[in-house]
Amino acid sequence: MPSILRYAARVTRKPVLGNKADQKRTVAIVGAGSLASALAPALAEAGYTITEIIARARTQSRRRLRSLERARTLAKKVGARAATVENAALDAALLWFCVPDREISAAASALAGRGPSGMRFAFHSSGALLSGELGALRKAGVAVASVHPLMTFVAQVRPSLAGVPFALEGDAAATKLARRIVGDLGGESFLLPARRKAAYHAWATMTSPLLLAYLVTLEEAAREAGLAREDARRMSLPIIRQTLENYRNCGPEQSFSGPFIRGDAETVAKHLAILGKHPRTRAVYVALARTVLARLPVENGKQLRRLLDERGRVKAW
């Protein structure tokens, strides 16, 4: 049977949990947003049985209905049942929270109050919060961990988890299980001390959300050159892709090019002058230029530094 048919057959059958080995590979997921929509199919394809997709509790009826509908849609894709916090069976070995940070602790408390019978492990996937957010379940005898994939998840896009780093923090038994699951997903895992979690998440935020902010700033600079946003986006991609490829293969120093490595203060002065019309864009340029002078090989560093000090001051936005 072709692989796609094998997968279709697997996800349309109800799971049969006949032995302890089967039970260990059962997962219930709380939430049905972008992360859950990528994680649940990936787990199913890796041989795990998704028993249920549990909708987040909502006080507003309209939002609650939307949450339930998303849970039903995702559950259908992976052959699971859709449930709510009130009627979830909680018979999977692992409960994985894929909900916003602000909802993790309350959701864990609500489900711990149900007296989970078959559950042995619980994960959440916040990059900023510690495994202690699942403290209510830990008190109930469940081993807990934070398991954060260093990947961006947005609506309508399902990224591959192959090669994705997962940061793990929590109880030894839970992180041991997380390592195995991450390996089955094709990712790589590493243990993160609790005291490093905030720094880790700052780094993670710079890898995608703030990188997008930089790309939006590029669009602003391109508009001054007479390009529409869509054209700027399309035309920037070849050089961005090549820069990333160079960075991966050669490292930052060997990938560095442009006016700073040549010490071309005259060109940098022209940049600062034209960007004076766009304070936010100029501020980003100046901040990055200062990082260049501090961290990358440049010629004529003293003159460039003096130029940034004299002309790089940015007025209030």
pLDDT digits (tens, 9 = 90+) for 171-198: 999 999 999 999 999 999 999 999 999 9
Pairing of the two strands 188-191 and 121-124: unpaired
Closest alpha carbon to 8 in 69, 73, 76 = 76
- Is the confidence at residue 11, as pLDDT, over 90? no
Closest alpha carbon to 23 in 99, 104, 119 = 119
Closest alpha carbon to 30 in 76, 77, 88 = 88
114 band by pLDDT with thresholds 50, 70 and 90: confident
| Domain ranges, ordered by start, for the chain | 3-194, 209-311
pLDDT computed for residue 6 by the predictor: 34
- Look at 67 and 120; give whichever has higher pLDDT: 120
8 band by pLDDT with thresholds 50, 70 and 90: very low
pLDDT digits (tens, 9 = 90+) for 13-63: 333 344 455 666 999 999 999 999 999 999 999 999 999 999 976 555 666
What percentage of the chain reaches a pLDDT higher than 70? Answer: 87
pLDDT computed for residue 212 by the predictor: 97
Q: Which CATH superfamily is domain 3-194 in?
A: NAD(P)-binding Rossmann-like Domain (3.40.50.720)
Q: Which two tokens stand for residue 284?
A: 């980003």
Other beta carbons within 10 Å of 96: 25
Range name among 5-14, 103-112, 168-177, 178-187 with the lowest pLDDT average: 5-14
Number of separate helices (H) and strands (E) present in the chain: 15, 8
DSSP calls for 56-114 = PP-SSHHHHHHHHHHHHHHHHHHT-EEEETTT----SSEEEE-S-HHHHHHHHHHHHTT
State the pTM of this model. Answer: 0.87
What average pLDDT is seen over the chain?
90
